[in-house]
Amino acid sequence: MNRFDEIINRRETNSVKWNTKEMFGDEEILPMWVADMDFPAPAEVIEAIKNRADHGIFGYTMPGEGTEKAIRSWLKNRHHWEIEENILTYSPGIVTAISMAIQTYTGPEDKIVVQPPVYYPFFEMAKKHKREVLYNELLLNEHHRYEINFDDLEAKLADPNTKMFILCNPHNPGGRVWSKEELTKIGELCLKHEVLIISDDIHSDLLLFGNEYTPIASISKEIAENTITCIAPSKTFNLAGLQASALIIPNASLRRKFNSTLQLHGLFGLNTLGTDAMEAAYKHGNDWLDELITYLEENVTEVENIINEKLPQLNVMRPESTYLIWIDARSLHKTDDEIKELLYKKGKLALEPGSKFGENGAGFLRMNIACPKETLQEGLKRLVHALT
């Protein structure tokens, strides 16, 4: 049996994903929505947490040299990206970090560019800070793959009030791993128009089907100095509840400003268990991740096969990264409410409605396939039942 085949009951564990009674009013619903996995973390991570639990003292904790070393080695070995020492800082989560970056680097008159359909906290956080959001909508090409509208992007970056661009690399949803050429163009446009890049690379370890990831900050020193890269072990190793993530900020002045905002919020350390888990994951997670990626690729293929056979009116966008499948259901000509009614009530299945990710996400569905194959098959059965 494959280690990822094991079904572990997550109900009654305070799991957000599995608390379907509260979220959708029905405990029978199978959750394939929010982005966490139904797999346990690597054994070495669990061991590190147990060791810390046995130690028994959970006082204030700060990631130290060991954590930094583990992260730097991971980036070097896994992504061929060598970062300097002492340029990391930490945050409980990436959404928290994005919110703090908006607060730190933009003012009330400033505008922020995002690329919908995109992970919705990008524009929601900007709006909560009362910043104006400019939407550089992604375009679907003839191969049903998202591309960047660079003319529109440049027009939006050239607005004198645009101060920040939030990049999602790899992109959620849609799963694009942006190419070096695309990223170079983005990086140079942001330099030209003096727009700071926040690059959310939380999905960058989950590369499928041989796709390769380029960190935008690895392209040139100038771009690195104008970029804050957000990384985390949370998606890769399923540690979101431990709340530990890292920011790579090569520019000393930007780093100082960010650290001041952390202090402003009383955030000067990290969760004790999260710190140990992060370090163990980056130190020991390599082989586990390779196995996970193979399993996820099989799950993607299974979704493609079943949908192509049983729901040919839908169009599955094959992800280049991560475990979130973006499904084009526009041909059903249903409103979000109608789709939700069919999925939740008839199918007893929770997927994310595409409109959450921006107006051009309407008519799409996002399905989380990071689950054992048996659960995936049950989810697909429910999807077919809901939509036929």
Ligand X SMILES: Cc1ncc(COP(=O)(O)O)c(C=O)c1O
By three-state DSSP, how is residue 358 classified? coil
Residue count at the site for ligand X (CB under 6 A)? 13
Q: How far is CA 128 from CA 82, 124, 212, 269, in A?
A: 35, 6, 34, 25
**Is position 205 an interface residue for ligand X (rule: CB under 6 A)?**
no
Evaluate the CA torsion angle 187, 191, 195, 198 in order and state its sign: positive
Nearer to ligand X, 29 or 246 (CB): 246
**Is position 232 an interface residue for ligand X (rule: CB under 6 A)?**
yes
Nearer to ligand X, 40 or 121 (CB): 121
**Is position 157 an interface residue for ligand X (rule: CB under 6 A)?**
no
Residue identified by tokens 């709340």 is 243
**How far apart are the C-alpha atoms of 30 and 55, rounded to whole Å?**
38
Evaluate the CA torsion angle 270, 79, 149, 164 in order and state its sign: positive
**Is position 35 an interface residue for ligand X (rule: CB under 6 A)?**
yes
**Is position 41 an interface residue for ligand X (rule: CB under 6 A)?**
no
CB atoms within 10 A of CB 194: 11
Q: Which residues pair with 364 in a beta bridge?
A: 328
**Is position 240 an interface residue for ligand X (rule: CB under 6 A)?**
yes
Tell me whether strands 162-168 and 196-200 are parallel, antiparallel or unpaired. parallel
Nearer to ligand X, 227 or 234 (CB): 234
Per-position DSSP letters for 145-173, written without gaps between them = -EE--HHHHHHHHHSTTEEEEEEESS-TT
Q: Binding segment for ligand X among 88-96, 186-194, 306-314, 348-356 (CB under 6 A)?
A: 88-96
Q: Binding segment for ligand X among 39-47, 61-69, 93-101, 297-305 (CB under 6 A)?
A: 93-101
Evaluate the CA torsion angle 268, 273, 279, 282 in order and state its sign: negative
**Is position 93 an interface residue for ligand X (rule: CB under 6 A)?**
yes
Shortest spacing between CB 116 and ligand X, in angstroms = 13
Show contacts with ligand X in window 158-187 (CB under 6 A): 168, 172
Q: Binding ligand X by CB under 6 A: which of 30, 32, 49, 95? A: 95
**Is position 94 an interface residue for ligand X (rule: CB under 6 A)?**
yes
Nearer to ligand X, 99 or 360 (CB): 99
**Contacting positions for ligand X (CB under 6 A):** 35, 93-95, 119, 168, 172, 200, 202, 232, 234, 240, 245
